[in-house]
Structure 1
Amino acid sequence: MKRRHIGTRRLLAVTLAGSLLSGALSGCAIATPETEQTEGTTVDYGDVGNAVTTAVPRIVGVRDLARSANGFGHRISLGLEVASAEPLTASELDAVVEAIWSALPWEPNTIKITAGADTAQGHEIVDLRAAAEELVPLGVTDAGTGGVSLTDMNARYGEWAAPE
């Protein structure tokens, strides 16, 4: 009789621990856009647009800058306007990510990038996935059509420091 009671406690403890863990993880995985605290308050992105277009001349613009809380810190999301629909090379994407990492006035724990080009055929997606896979040790996940989310920038570019 005593053994059954101990087994029930263990089962209850494991179930409770699993429920708490899954609840905590699901809360961290949901990215919620930051809302402005007061009227007129905006997020400072520093000189990200100029830094990116200077780093890779084939990128002609940066659009849709957005910051969101993701449970571990803040993610920056942005779109690149590229002169041609050819996929970015690993060195081009590396220069873009390093430019973002260096130009932001706050430390992002995730950088989400999508890219597109206006061509004679219309707006085309620029694929970033193959280039991102070569940027070891960055963590890479797919984000949108051809886009990527990158983590572990400090492992590749060093500790983040506010721009001067």
Structure 2
Amino acid sequence: MRWVFVLMFAGLGAMMLYVGVAQYVLQHRIAEYARPIEVEIIHSEVTRSLSSDTDPSLSRNTSTTTYTPEVRFRYVVEGRAYESAMMRPNIIETTYGSHEDAAAALADYPLGARVQAWVDDAHLENAFLILEKGIGPIVFTIVGLLALGVAYLAFRFIR
């Protein structure tokens, strides 16, 4: 049983750490070399997600609802057309606890609008709308390190 616990947390930790570090490095590189371009918003909406109720009792509901701003835009660079759905220079999405907060994140990107976005010439297919480094990669890195710490403690102390 100990080994299952150790391997589960070690695997989770390694995966989260890898994604966090890789996205952190990528977003810094892309943001550093990004140049402005004009894009056209072709999709802009808030989607609702409901997690499963994990409590089998009828008296409590543990499901949660989150809202994700979804945007897609079209652009042309060096005569070639591209589409992207990235709001920031990393693949980790930001979700919100209310529809209003998610809609506020999309307020500057209504359907059909022509807005400024950013693109790195080394990654033309990954243009993004907001030139800011998101906190997602840092969160993934911290969670990965914590999971690896739990795996180590389980290895050392669970018999």
Identify the TM-score tier after normalising by the shorter chain.
Answer: under 0.3
TM-score by length of 1: 0.22
More relative contact order, 1 or 2 (CA 8 Å, 6+ apart): 2
Mark the structure with the bigger radius of gyration: 1
